[in-house]
Amino acid sequence: MKDIDLRIYLVTDSTLSLGRPLEWIVEEAVKGGATIVQLREKDCSTHDFLELAIKLREILHKYNVPLIINDRVDIALASDADGVHIGQSDMPYAVVRKILGSDKIIGLSVENMEQAHEAESLDVDYIAVSPVFSTNTKTDTSDAMGLEGVKKVASFSKHPIVGIGGMNKDTIKSVIEAGAKGVAIVSAIVSAESPQSATRQLLNLIK
């Protein structure tokens, strides 16, 4: 398990970028203190996804911030990203680890207690409790696990936890206090007038 700073985990979504370049939003967020970035673009062609991954990798490398690719192991390999994030219906962890090797970061979403317990047998680098609260930016998930769910997972999990779903300035402090090491932020940064200021404010809330 690698030592990764998960505090402000930016997850991209071009549909929420208000027409602004994703590269600019990501760099502004990192300047504001984003500690890790996941490229998550569901409606992107493979060509455009790879091109964007390579651009973000170049930007983030300057700041020593890891780039994680959502789902697509092929894009992670081709762009030399730092790792991938997989869900329960994606390629199995053992296969992903075999393809990527031991040096890359692998994160796993868990949507209930059973999946969280099953993750204990896996050498993933973090787990994402998803969703903590109901959210409009991620609709393909189970019922919200809530703060009690985060607390319960934190009580037994050997993996650092990232809270996903409904993360904003009003919720993130309570999620960290419940045992999460970080929070996955989408619209609160991507749609912010100033992604840099928004990120800085969010980071200050959990410091």
Under a CB-based contact definition with an 8 Å cutoff, are residues 188 and 167 in contact?
yes
pLDDT digits (tens, 9 = 90+) for 4-17: 999 999 999 999 99
pLDDT digits (tens, 9 = 90+) for 20-70: 999 999 999 999 999 999 999 988 999 999 999 999 999 999 999 999 999
Q: Domains plus CATH for the chain?
A: 8-206 (3.20.20.70)
Please state, rounded to an integer, the average pLDDT across all residues of the chain: 95
Q: Among positive and negative, which fits the CA dihedral 118, 99, 82, 37? A: negative
Percentage of residues of the chain with pLDDT beyond 90: 91
- DSSP labels, 12-47: --GGGSTT--HHHHHHHHHHTT--EEEE--TT--HH
Bridge partner residues of 162 (DSSP): 128, 182
* Residue range 140-166: mean pLDDT, rounded: 92
Alpha carbons 53 and 81: distance in angstroms, whole number: 7
Alpha carbons 138 and 8: distance in angstroms, whole number: 18
Question: What pTM was estimated for this model as a whole?
Answer: 0.95
Which residues have a catalytic role annotated?
Answer: 40, 109, 138
Q: Is the pLDDT of residue 140 over 80?
A: no
